[in-house]
Amino acid sequence: MHHLVIQRHTAPLSQHDLDHLCHIAAPMSLEKFADDHGPNRGHNAARLRDIRGTGPGMRRALDSYCREHHIDWAIVPAGLHLGDFKLLAMDMDSTLINIETVDEIGATVGKKDEIAAITAAAMRGEIADYATSLRQRVALLAGVPLAALDKLYTDTLRLNPGAETLLAAAKAAGLKTQLVTGGFTHFTDRLKQRLGFDRVAANVLGVKGDALDGSLVGDIIDGEAKKKAVLAFCDDLGCDPGEVLVIGDGANDLPMMHAVGFSVAYHAKPKVREAATTAIDHGALDSLLHWFE
């Protein structure tokens, strides 16, 4: 059996919402949540228990209504607990944090628009060779002082809403946590220390003196490398890929999302949203905690 979890993050679910979605899903019962994952969020969520099916027709009907009414929805196996997973792996740029770091580094030297156009195309899956696109972008950063990256971390980089709550809940449930990104160690080193990630995979920016030299050092962390990093940690933990939960937003997250048991598209590009197990389109990262019993 499966449950349907619905959440609206800007206003309460109306009786019309509940009636319409119950008509689509035909649950055996309905459970409204207490507010235990953030201000007002619990008042805006419900679990429709033991729904009649999970087929594509039902999913299309759910998605059509929920998109129009700004509701996040997820179909999850009945009885699934967060602690059933052994590893939570997540992307950094635009997933854990609010920015694309390479774009914002470019902004410090007036090249954000040029770099951001390449980033956007890569995240939509329009550039097949991610590694080459990253090298092109990083080459434009030659000469950026390291102090500018420090200032970016302090002044601009912010965790996306719910990140700390989600990671704390995962750790409390016994999961290991992994940050897997095409971004840079200059930021991941600090985030690992701040948030307690157990393992990190990220790219290393070349440095000459006190500035970037426009190169990348070592192997490129692209989509395939992300997948390999997640599966390697999974293997080290002695867990099955089906026991891994992955969160991402861009096309370079697709390989690791396809390789594991449960994937979440967070405010993601359409191609990623379609491929993921489920999606968070409107809510915070910790809203996924309501999916689990």
Q: Which residues are marked as active site?
A: 91, 93
Rounded Cα distance between 38 and 84, Å, is 23
Angle between helices 163-172 and 185-195 (to 10 degrees): 60
Closest CA to 247 of 283, 271, 272, 229: 272
Taking residue 41's Cβ as centre, other Cβ atoms within 10 Å add up to 21
Closest CA to 253 of 222, 285, 219: 222
Closest CA to 78 of 47, 44, 108: 47
Residues written for the chain? 293
Structure tokens at 53: 């099916």
Taking residue 25's Cβ as centre, other Cβ atoms within 10 Å add up to 24
Closest CA to 47 of 12, 22, 15, 23: 22
